[in-house]
Structure 1
Amino acid sequence: MLYIRSSVFFCFSIWISLAMGTTTQEYLDFVLPLVKNAGQELLSVKNVEVEEKGEFYDVVTVYDRKIEQILFKKIKERWPDHKFIGEEESYTKGISQLSNESTWIIDPIDGTANFVRNLKDACISVGLVINKEQVMGVVYNPFMDELYTAIKGQGAYLNGVKIQTNGATDISKSVFNYELSLGVNTKYYDLYMYRLKHLLKHIGGIRSMGSAVMGLCYVATGRMEAYQCDGLFPWDAAAGVLIVREAGGYVRDSNGGEFDLMDPNYIATATKELSDKFMEIERRADQERESDAQNHKQLKF
């Protein structure tokens, strides 16, 4: 029986390879040296000039643009028919709609605010989506020399060593990485604060690291039990979400429903059981927030 299953899996893998023309492993092998070289570029930086893209907390550097352009250029030269979604390009042109075509989704520096302050939680993120499905993810933090990789169905790895979440199910012992920095946006302030008020009564500890992609990777390695952020973009999820799932973790939309890569509001946890516990508490917080908002609206009239 095991032999039959292995044979079926092998034949299925061959079929996928032929259908795609290029195997996912070949995509990974091609992009890895590009990402590593980009990381060396970041390590060589001495002085950083910062610009604000929109809100005061959303910053960009010349290195964000430079790295994105280099990665796009090299990949386009190899596969000119592929599509691309990048943070800096999308800021000026808008986010492209996701199609069934092979699409590279890139964040040249996730955690730019950390990068400009010489904090080590910053990384380069490259995800590949085919037929609207996440099939490959690469995350490289050159400041810690940590390279995370994942291919769908083949597990997740840190510097070539297979990783898994820590399998936690007890929320009272969980360290929760909650990206509170986005709460400075008035659109999300109440959402974050109500949930935080409820969660603090149940969790074992809290962190806010300033990098969505690294937050996901920390769940994948078992360094933390849960990570959550709302109000994100495809490049904040394209690589890291796959890495968590391939490490045995669970990712869902934090507002309920299915996770949407193109409109990601996610909570990533070591297990589904832990995720369910977080969601139960957060639904109560959301109900309280909605009730208070309704009462406030009625008082105004």
Structure 2
Amino acid sequence: MTDLWQNAMDHAVALAKKAGSLVRDAVQNDMKVMLKSSSVDLVTKTDQMVEQLIIDSVKEKFPTHSFIGEESVAAGEPCVLTDNPTWIVDPVDGTTNFVHGYPFVAVSIGFAVNRKLEFGVVYSCIEDKMYTARKGKGAFCNGLLLNVSDQKEISQSIIATEFGSNRDTEVVDKIFSSMRKILCLPIHGIRGVGTAATNMCLVASGCVEAYYEIGIHCWDIAAGAIIVTEAGGVLMDVDGTSLYIPDST
């Protein structure tokens, strides 16, 4: 199946480039912004258009494959990972960035077979950076090999995180309580670019030592997960156990 999965990965890269072009064009034009769970949980017509572009292309080229997409799940499609070859997609990771013109927006495409990730593609559209990884073959950015940081001291580290879209006082208090504990370890600083996929690619690139977030979904991390691990990193849950792509969100 090696050649078949390489064919799928090549197709994912081509789709990410095409989707990225749509995103860059949309940044220059008026966009229709809609709300999902709250006033800060945004979705745009471009999110939906990009996801449909990817779905249609995958169904045409790989008609037996399954699909999990952020916008499809939001519209009521089931989010279930089976043994079948499955594309796990966040069409516009960093929608709030996209709406505001903040220059970190990514198309994220993960691909799993037998519930194991085979490859990941993250295209940071505005930066024109294509991150790719194939199981057992390393991780790359625009063709250059990636390696995670070799820093062993947490006090010499930068940690990435995000704030999510929940603005309930209790939730926000927990977020800042966690940040305070991490800052006071101490560490050099906390950063975040507004997209989970890009944050994970920054870990893979070695410019930040770690990334954490609470309340993440499988489409946020599927592609980034294999990029990080192929760059020499690890993924773990808050209890220290290995993190895996869940059957459902």
Q: TM-score, normalised by structure 2?
A: 0.93
Shift of residue 251, structure 1, vs aligned partner: 1.2
Select the structure of larger CA radius of gyration.
1
Q: CA RMSD in A?
A: 1.9
Q: Determine whether 1:257 maps to 2:238.
A: no
Map of 1:73 onto structure 2: 56
How far apart, in 1, do the equivalents of 2:179 and 2:51 lie? 34
2:115 to 132, 145, 156: 132
Asked if structure 1 preserves the Cα contact closer than 8 Å seen for 2:82 and 2:247, the reply is no
Runs of 4+ displaced beyond 4 Å: none
For 1:55 and 1:263, how far apart are their aligned partners in 2? Answer: 25
Which stretches in structure 2 are left out of the alignment for 5+ residues?
Answer: none
Identify the match of residue 51 of structure 1 among 25, 34, 59.
Answer: 34
Instruction: Sort the Cα spacing of 1:221 and 1:58 in 2 relative to 1 into closer, same or farther, 3 A.
Output: same
State the 1:247 CA deviation.
0.5
1:114 corresponds to which residue? 97
Q: Are residues 1:87 and 2:70 paired?
A: yes
Superposed CA deviations along residues 191-229 of structure 1, whole A, max 9, x for unmatched, are 423322211112111113211111000111112111111
Distance in 1 between residues matched to 2:72 and 2:46, nearest whole Å: 13
Q: CA deviation at 1:68?
A: 0.3
Q: Write the distance in 2 (CA, Å) between the matches of 1:230 and 1:165.
A: 22
**1:113 partner letter:** T
Q: What are the residue-to-residue correspondences of 1:241-280 with 2, within 5 Å?
A: 241-262=225-246
Query: Of residues 149, 172, 178 in structure 2, which corresponds to 1:166?
Result: 149
Shift of 1:56: 1.7
d(CA) in 2 for partners of 1:155, 1:52: 38
Query: How far apart in 2 are the matches of 1:254 and 1:153?
Result: 26
CA shift digits 1:110-159 (9 cap, x unpaired): 00000111111110000000000011100001200100000011000000
Partner of 1:36: 17
SS of equivalent residue, structure 1 residue 137? strand
Question: In the comparison of the two structures, how many residue pairs are matched?
Answer: 246
State which of 203, 208, 214 in structure 2 corresponds to 1:224: 208
Give the match for residue 207 of structure 1: 191
Contact 1:181-1:208 at 8 Å conserved across structures: no
Shift of 1:65: 0.3
* C-alpha deviation, 1:94, in angstroms: 4.3
The verdict on how the C-alpha distance between 1:52 and 1:263 changes in structure 2, with shifts beyond 3 A counting, is farther
Output the CA distance in 2 between the equivalents of 1:27 and 1:42.
22
SS at match of 1:239: helix
Flag the structure with more relative contact order, 1 or 2, with Cα contacts below 8 A and sequence separation at least 6. Answer: 2
Q: Secondary structure at the match of 2:102?
A: coil
Q: CA deviation at 1:188?
A: 3.6
- Of residues 72, 82, 92 in structure 2, which corresponds to 1:99? 82
Q: Distance in 1 between matches of 2:130 and 2:170?
A: 34
1:24 is the counterpart of 2:1: no
The answer for the alignment partner of 1:296 in structure 2 is none
Aligned identity (percent) is: 35
TM-score of the pair, normalised by structure 1: 0.77
Which region of structure 1 is more displaced relative to structure 2, 29-38 or 69-78?
29-38
Looking at structure 2, the residues matched to 256 and 250 of structure 1 have their Cα atoms a distance apart, in angstroms, of 11
CA distance in 2 between counterparts of 1:237 and 1:264 reads: 13
247-256 or 68-77, which moves further after superposition? 247-256
